[in-house]
Amino acid sequence: MMALFITCVLPVYADELEEHQRQLQDVSRKINQNEQLLKQKKQEEQSIMGQIRTIEQNIANTEKELNSLSERIAILKDSIAKVEEEIAEAEKELAKKNDLLSERLEYIYKQGEVSYLEVLLSATDIKDFLTRYDMLNMIVEQDIELIESINREKNDLKMRKSDLEVKRKELEQIQSNQESAKKLLDSQKEQKQKILADVSKERKAYEAAIAELEKASAQLEAMIRQLQSGGTAVGTGVLTWPTPGFKTITSPYGMRWHPILQERRMHTGVDIGAPMSASIVAADSGTVIFAGWMSANGNTTVIDHGGGISTVYAHQSKFLVKKGDVVVKGQEIGKVGSTGWSTGPHLHFEVRVNGNHTNPMSYIK
């Protein structure tokens, strides 16, 4: 693309220049479309980084949840193990009491109520009778307590088993949640890597475009040198202000934060704030060596003033001169616009010495 830019720039007065100029404008417009797309990508970068920050926060939250679930699982497993031990111990104790109760019931069945009566009637006196009676009551009460104890332990065992079942179901649910959280975490990490890869890819394309623009600037210098070699400019060497009535410099010459590229870049001219369609005049007398579309500069006019000095007028909305025209100092040559890489109507004004950019304010009186 940039090689075509060079081959399209021929001496000012060559017969083929018109056709090559048309080709240059077509290619430049295509370059500008790509630059606009890169501009949009750059603006989207903050949103993308915001997405990454959100994903990273989600990852942190998910990892925190996983840690919490792991702790809960460990606690539940420990609790389940203890309950299982308690149930096993309770079942052993219950089995012993059941065996004892079975023995008592078997004895009572075999002896019957007569046995108790015989014990009482075999007393030697009243005192012995009462003693035997108390002992028999004790035995009966112990039997009743044994039965009640067995029933209590059966109910308690039932509750413990029910609680154990609840804990096991809770454990299954938490383990399921943990598995889901792990899958979510993997998905979030994969999403983050994809976004980072996309950003990296777009960044490389963006950097390639910037390199192309830098080449375009170098070729502009070469074009000016080449076209100046065949011109008949008659400049005074003293420049006038290019936008009569509008002298506010919105961005000076030198390093600055680029409003489109969102990074520090060399600003090769000055930006003069002016309304749409305000007049642009020739800063000095000379010959128009370029009037057309120039990539990021949009509609641009270049005037050769002789002595290696030329001026550049970018982002115009309308041309009032064409290549080859001889203009006089102060003559209207175009209208202020916002074409190319521009955030609003203004004139980007440059002074070039032998094709190299320099501070325009050093030449304006």
Per-residue model confidence (pLDDT) at position 300: 94
Burial of residue 134 (CB within 10 Å: 0-12, 13-18, 19+) is: exposed
Give the fold, CATH level 3, of 58-196. Answer: Helix Hairpins (1.10.287)
How much is the CA Rg of the chain, to the nearest whole Å?
48
DSSP 162-217: HHHHHHHHHHHHHHHHHHHHHHHHHHHHHHHHHHHHHHHHHHHHHHHHHHHHHHHH
Q: DSSP secondary-structure letter at 138?
A: H
The dihedral over CA atoms of 97, 102, 107, 109, expressed in degrees to the nearest 10, equals: 140
The CB density around residue 17, as the number of other CB atoms within 10 Å, is 18
Q: Are 256 and 270 in contact (CB under 8 A)?
A: no
Residue 49's pLDDT band, with cuts at 50, 70 and 90, is low
Mean local confidence (pLDDT), 169-185: 79
Mean local confidence (pLDDT), 197-204: 71
Give the residue with greater pLDDT, 240 vs 129.
Answer: 240
Q: Which residues pair with 255 in a beta bridge?
A: 266
Query: What is the residue extent of each domain of the chain?
Result: 58-196, 230-365
Which of 40-44, 63-67, 96-100, 277-281 is the most confident on average?
277-281
Give the fold, CATH level 3, of 230-365. Answer: Glucose Permease (Domain IIA) (2.70.70)
Query: Amino acid letter at 311?
Result: T
Calpha distance 336→125 (Å, rounded):
137
To the question of pTM greater than 0.85 for the whole model, the response is: no
CA-nearest of 308, 131, 337 to 224 is 308
Calpha distance 197→207 (Å, rounded):
15
Structure tokens at 37: 């797309």
Q: DSSP secondary-structure letter at 323?
A: T
Give the residue with greater pLDDT, 163 vs 351.
Answer: 351
* Per-residue model confidence as pLDDT tens digits over 92-148: 776 776 676 566 656 655 655 545 556 556 667 777 667 665 665 676 666 667 667
Structure tokens at 69: 């679930």
The CB density around residue 355, as the number of other CB atoms within 10 Å, is 19
